Amino acid sequence: MKSVRFRFAGLIAGLAAVSFLTGAALAQEAASAAPAAANKPLQPSETKNFGDWTVRCYPATSTVPCEMIELLVNKKSGRRVLGVMIIYNAAQNQNVMQVAMPLGVMLQTGVVLGSDTYTSAVLRYRLCDIQGCYSVAPLDDDAIKALGRATKAEMRIVSADGKKFALNFSLNGFTAAHEALVEMTRQKPSGAPAPAAAPAH
């Protein structure tokens, strides 16, 4: 999952200024981040666990130096089934969520985050690679609070053959992890301003 973080670090920073980067900007961020991740993955300098969530901070100076993450992995294959990551941009007081889904999803239908207290709008896929497909979207304070009150959550997807699935994930430790994410991010040195979005094509 570390390589995914590198790919989306610039994208998530850009979301502080705009709702979404265009596909061209996303591709540029991925291309610029990939070599660094491939040569020497950056290791977290600080890690804390809260229930089923982990908060990790990295030594690099950045507008988004920390993340909270939950991974679901297939025990037999070792492959990631679902990844949910949230990053907090202190400069913009904004939370951004990245969802990593398996391959074989129907791209047109996107993914919906649902719980017993909150249902998101359709989250569109922004990129696919050999490991899966990814969606990135801002989460406002009301969504964070609602998820903190929830007892269950799921990502609702549609497979390429039209079948509907719900991938359940845990909210155990969500609120504590988010509070730590905000606090640890604010303690880190601020980095360069968020990159501007590329013009739409």
Structural contact between residues 110 and 135, judged by C-beta atoms closer than 8 angstroms: yes
- Does residue 193 have a pLDDT over 80? no
Domain assignment of residue 193, yes or no = no
pLDDT band at 64 (very low <50, low <70, confident <90, very high): confident
Q: What is the pLDDT of residue 132?
A: 92
Q: What is the four-CA torsion angle of 125, 97, 64, 20, rounded to 10 degrees?
A: 40
pLDDT band at 111 (very low <50, low <70, confident <90, very high): very high
pLDDT band at 61 (very low <50, low <70, confident <90, very high): confident
pLDDT band at 191 (very low <50, low <70, confident <90, very high): low
Assign residue 11 the CATH number of its domain: 2.60.40.1880
Count of domains for the chain:
1
Rounded (5°) CA angle 38-127-140: 105
| Span 133-149, average pLDDT | 95
| Span 90-118, average pLDDT | 93
Domain assignment of residue 201, yes or no = no
Domain assignment of residue 199, yes or no = no
Query: In this structure, how many other beta carbons lie within 10 angstroms of the beta carbon of residue 94?
Result: 19
Lowest mean pLDDT of 25-34, 123-132, 147-156, 181-190, name the range: 25-34
In 3D, which of 27, 12, 139, 26 has the Cα closest to residue 64? Answer: 12
CA–CA distance, 143 with 83 (Å, rounded to integer): 18
Classify residue 166 as exposed, middle or buried by CB count within 10 Å of its CB (0-12, 13-18, 19+).
exposed
Domain assignment of residue 126, yes or no = yes
SS3 186: helix
Which residue range is the domain that position 104 belongs to?
A: 2-187
- Does residue 17 have a pLDDT over 50? no
CA–CA distance, 196 with 10 (Å, rounded to integer): 10
pLDDT band at 12 (very low <50, low <70, confident <90, very high): very low
Domain assignment of residue 194, yes or no = no
| Span 56-85, average pLDDT | 88
